[in-house]
Chains A and B, each alone.
Chain A
């Protein structure tokens, strides 16, 4: 079990994602990446990322923002690539050629995780590689120009699910990847948010201290794609949690625990109204989508609380 985290102590540690990367001002991804690396910095860490904003902006030509060993190969295979690295590490360890306790962390966007990367992710988890896979979920393919993904929420306006007078944005719900990963019966699955930094750091710290495959899904606002104010990144992440759109919970060795319960669940409109991608939902003819959105959240939140009560 990981030691209790102290903010004062954490603030002394080196930030392992250096400034100078080309991510947008106000981007949620580097905030999440820095938090993840900070929480794991008790150990030497080897990281991997698939193609995406974080990858392309942190390794311009010969430069890298990563203060740790980091590998990228393609869009669909961060988990496979890191599984290969981890396998080599285990082999070297077995042969006595390496004795360090090294941790392996993949940090990937939702396109490379929910969609094209789910096959390699699922395979790595099922085979039981000792690695942590963190998805920074901003709900679309932001790197290629805001195309819808399997993580894009219902009703969102994207470049490939455009909201018009006939079709009100994305007509499908997002898939619940955290649940899918928990269904792999891996060591540890969790959902986190950069707005609740202590919760996020604890989850990462706990995950890296455990053996076996781990998965953490982190909501990561993108003001470009969400059509929101640059300064609202953390506010939006917080609202996602407070509306229970993004519940903070963990599944540790099969036992579900909700790590944050808002005293008062805010209506989803508070999350939606700050984002231009949902602007059209507030037109009278699209009210049903907001209603549907709220019903889905309520049902899932109740289900989660029930699931937790099974182990109470």
Chain B
């Protein structure tokens, strides 16, 4: 199959088009603007709609509307824009609507900068908006994986009637890599019997709602949501293992950082240190399975992130103190390096030895 050279942000767009998404509502923000640029041209070619809203608040509520009407719909933004969308995201989760949100994370807090970051882990994994809800969160680490995971994102959103967030960063969004697109898939999208499309051919009205005045009624909804999140946790954990089988020092990293960590694992192995890597592909549900399994052989864990230590909390939660969990991170939009990660790992290994 022929490969084409594609920019990450364009791949999010093309992946969505190939996943049957025909509605995009967006708003400019660096470093994701190439994604709307791509879809502004691409959507009309496939009979889809590209629409630029007047703000992120408007964009996410357009997503709510289109999702309620049963469309495969997405939006994209970057960290501060995602913050503005949080009310709408909570409503979409509360009303149980499928939608895909791409977040090309940048340095924060505040205006921060436009450099790559992973500092939205808490925001996207632990909620972000109000109420007890969860997003499905996917973290690709190559342009090819962006294409592949966009299809998964829409499938999972439909399967669970839940918003799915796909996270990248400025590096992943703006770098170019060869990708294999394959033929345009001939999709048969699942019917959405719940969608509010009018009552033609039906005697009942469909209702999309997240308002439940009676506490007992709302509690029932919450219990149903929690059951759904438990099912996600049971069925949807995804991860990649690298040289993990005999690893005594286990690194964890997601997205772009996982590629750096992978190179660090090779360096460590070459230096005689039995290192391995777990790369979470789903950030929610967090893939604790390989973590607890690896703990049987591992002496220590090292979590590497482009933030001040966020996913590391989930690793500690998975291990419940069984093994020491170390952290190495860079903040402010600084990309970590193989040398830095290797250095941090060697320090930990020296103590173990």
Are both chains from one complex? yes
User: With contacts A72-B111, A74-B111, A145-B33 known, is A162 near B40, CB below 8 A?
Assistant: yes
Smallest Cβ-Cβ distance to B83: which chain A residue = A74
User: With contacts A76-B55, A166-B44 known, is A160 near B28, CB below 8 A?
Assistant: yes
CB pair B52–A160 under 8 Å, yes or no, is yes
Contact among A144, A160, A164 with B50 in the assembled complex (CB-CB below 8 Å): A160
Q: A161-173 interface mask toward B, CB cutoff 8 Å, 1 = contact, 0 = none? A: 1101011000000
Q: Is the interface of A mostly helix, strand, loop or mixed?
A: loop
User: With contacts A51-B111, A74-B111, A145-B28 known, is A159 near B33, CB below 8 A?
Assistant: yes
Q: A40-84 interface mask toward B, CB cutoff 8 Å, 1 = contact, 0 = none? A: 000000000001000000000000000000001011100000000
Contacts of A166 in B (CB 8 A): 44
Contacts of B30 in A (CB 8 A): 143-145
* Those of B31-52 within 8 Å (CB) of chain A: 33-34, 36-37, 40-41, 44, 50, 52
| In the bound complex, CA of A118 to CA of B28 (Å) | 16
* Minimum CB–CB distance for A20 against chain B, Å: 20
CB pair A150–B28 under 8 Å, yes or no, is no
Q: B62-80 interface mask toward A, CB cutoff 8 Å, 1 = contact, 0 = none? A: 0000000000000000001
Smallest Cβ-Cβ distance to A56: which chain B residue = B111
CB pair B37–A145 under 8 Å, yes or no, is yes
| In the bound complex, CA of A76 to CA of B81 (Å) | 11
Contact among B34, B44, B55, B80 with A115 in the assembled complex (CB-CB below 8 Å): B55
| In the bound complex, CA of A51 to CA of B55 (Å) | 13
Contacts of B27 in A (CB 8 A): 116
Q: How many residues of B contact A (CB 8 A)?
A: 20
Contacts of B84 in A (CB 8 A): 76
| In the bound complex, CA of A159 to CA of B55 (Å) | 17
Q: Is B325 an interface residue (CB 8 A)?
A: no
CB pair A148–B52 under 8 Å, yes or no, is yes
CB pair A167–B33 under 8 Å, yes or no, is no
Smallest Cβ-Cβ distance to A76: which chain B residue = B55
* Minimum CB–CB distance for A168 against chain B, Å: 12
Contact among A51, A147, A162 with B33 in the assembled complex (CB-CB below 8 Å): A147
Q: Is A111 an interface residue (CB 8 A)?
A: yes
* Minimum CB–CB distance for A1 against chain B, Å: 37
CB pair B52–A147 under 8 Å, yes or no, is yes
Contacts of A147 in B (CB 8 A): 28, 33, 36-37, 52
Smallest Cβ-Cβ distance to A175: which chain B residue = B54
Q: Is B29 an interface residue (CB 8 A)?
A: yes
Q: B11-31 interface mask toward A, CB cutoff 8 Å, 1 = contact, 0 = none? A: 000000000000000111110
Contacts of B41 in A (CB 8 A): 162, 164
CB pair A150–B33 under 8 Å, yes or no, is no
Most buried by A among B26, B28, B36, B84: B28
Q: Is A188 an interface residue (CB 8 A)?
A: no
Contact among A74, A150, A161, A164 with B54 in the assembled complex (CB-CB below 8 Å): A150
* Those of B79-122 within 8 Å (CB) of chain A: 80, 84, 111
CB pair A159–B44 under 8 Å, yes or no, is no
Contact among A76, A115, A116, A159 with B37 in the assembled complex (CB-CB below 8 Å): A159
CB pair A141–B28 under 8 Å, yes or no, is yes
* Minimum CB–CB distance for B137 against chain A, Å: 25
User: With contacts A51-B111, A141-B28, A144-B30 known, is A160 near B55, CB below 8 A?
Assistant: no
Smallest Cβ-Cβ distance to B84: which chain A residue = A76
CB pair B44–A74 under 8 Å, yes or no, is no
* Minimum CB–CB distance for B165 against chain A, Å: 21
Contacts of B52 in A (CB 8 A): 147-148, 160-161
CB pair B36–A160 under 8 Å, yes or no, is yes
Contacts of B54 in A (CB 8 A): 115-116, 118, 150
CB pair A144–B33 under 8 Å, yes or no, is yes
| In the bound complex, CA of A141 to CA of B55 (Å) | 12
* Minimum CB–CB distance for A254 against chain B, Å: 28
| In the bound complex, CA of A72 to CA of B50 (Å) | 31
A144-B28, A147-B36, A160-B36 are known; give 19 further A-B pairs, CB within 8 A: A51-B111, A74-B111, A115-B54, A116-B27, A116-B54, A116-B55, A118-B54, A141-B28, A144-B29, A145-B33, A145-B37, A147-B37, A147-B52, A159-B33, A159-B36, A160-B28, A161-B52, A162-B41, A164-B44
Q: Could you write out 10 A-B pairs with CB less than 8 Å apart? A: A72-B111, A116-B54, A116-B55, A141-B28, A145-B37, A147-B33, A159-B40, A160-B40, A162-B37, A162-B40
Please list the residues of chain A having a beta carbon within 8 angstroms of any beta carbon in chain B.
51, 72, 74-76, 111, 115-116, 118, 141, 143-145, 147-148, 150, 159-162, 164, 166-167
